[in-house]
Amino acid sequence: MNDLQNATVTVLGAYGHTGRFVVAELVARGFVPILAGRDQAKLDAFAAAYPDLDVRLASADDAASLDRALAGADAVINAAGPFAATAAPVIEAALRARIPYVDVAAEIEANTDTFRLFADRAREAGIVVLPAMAFYGGLGDLLATAAMDDWTEADEVHIAYGLDGWHPTSGTRATGAVSRRRNGGRHVRYTGGELTYHDDERQLQKWSFPEPTGVREVFAEFSMADVVTVPSHLPVPEVCTYMAVEAARDLMSPDTPEPVAVSEDGRSAQLFVVEAVVVSGLLERSAVASGRDIYAVSAPLAVEAVHRILTGQTTTTAGVASAGALFDAADVLHALAPHLTVDLRTESVPGRLEVQ
């Protein structure tokens, strides 16, 4: 599909916090969103700002409604969590419609299910299924892949999230609750080439982020979707993610309020820096991205993915794949320059990783 002018993209959960950013980004880039969700009143209220767009009621537990929501669309972006409940039914609908599927799922188990359940079926149907194309899962995978560059294997990947705070949305809390039920409240690790579950307490350590962030306290093994996306295609036996203490405590507190918009585009004041470090023997390579509002930045990630899938800028035309496997990672990161500041350090250097 070479001409994307007026290409239609169904957005499930269009009126949600992240869905609103996705719709705005699609419109800004010349796509025509189809606004879809399970709450008619919320759909209508949100659609008032987009009177020319199609509105379609759809629920993950109603296959016929999903088929109607995807009818005539060129692609679908699923921004409706919890993804443990929505990903599989929406992927099934995308398979029936034979259109590419992209979601913004941060749930480790839901993303694992997508790879496990749909790899063969998506390949047979001839469509691309891209899970976790968001701040968690997608961005870290792109950074780690770009940092690895021409290395064919590595020993470890470390991804550290330096958020200055985290005001979780109601959707984040709901998906977190589902994940905790599914893993029995245990912590997830990717070690020895597989996901493992543990009951021990997370360790408090320090991470040396590039300036001006500098050294920050982080919780080690605060596993995010990167422990699924990165090893899905990079030959690395150890993937560890870290979360800034301030953000982790905000997330874990039931009293932390939802994000508050400080600009007309709906972004919050939250700042972030993400660093991926790939280790091979005594050498390291790294990549860093920084910006504002983790929810808002998920939108250009997902929309850039749809653009590249529809224009054939992918390594494959069918199957389940993470962002780093599907795209030229460095090129995608540079394309996101209006939304992210990116520093790729692919020159191999002696060990700098400072995790204490």
* Ordered domains of the chain (ranges, CATH): 8-134+298-326 (3.40.50.720), 135-294+338-350 (3.30.360)
Contact 248, 222 (CB under 8 A): yes
Q: What is the pLDDT of residues 278-296, one digit of tens each?
A: 999 999 999 999 999 999 9
Q: Tokens for 205?
A: 């350590």
Q: Where are the beta strands (DSSP E) in the chain?
A: 8-12, 32-37, 54-57, 75-78, 101-103, 128-130, 156-163, 187-191, 194-198, 204-208, 215-220, 238-244, 271-280, 283-292, 319-320, 341-350
Measured CA to CA in angstroms, residue 119 lies from 24, 95, 284, 287, 320 at distances of 30, 12, 32, 29, 5
Q: Which residues pair with 129 in a beta bridge?
A: 101, 320
Q: What is the pLDDT of residues 33-84, one digit of tens each?
A: 999 999 999 999 999 999 999 999 999 999 999 999 999 999 999 999 999 9
Residue 3, pLDDT > 80, answer: no
- Determine the angle formed by the axes of helices 17-28 and 294-310, rounding to 10 degrees: 50
Give 64's contacts (C-beta < 8 A, 6+ positions apart).
Answer: none
What is the four-CA torsion angle of 170, 175, 178, 180, rounded to 10 degrees? -100
pTM: 0.95
Q: What is the pLDDT of residues 97-128, one digit of tens each?
A: 999 999 999 999 999 999 999 999 999 999 99
Cα(325)–Cα(321) distance, rounded to whole angstroms? 6
Give the mean pLDDT of 8-34: 98
Contact 156, 279 (CB under 8 A): yes
Pairing of the two strands 271-280 and 238-244: unpaired
Give the mean pLDDT of 191-212: 91
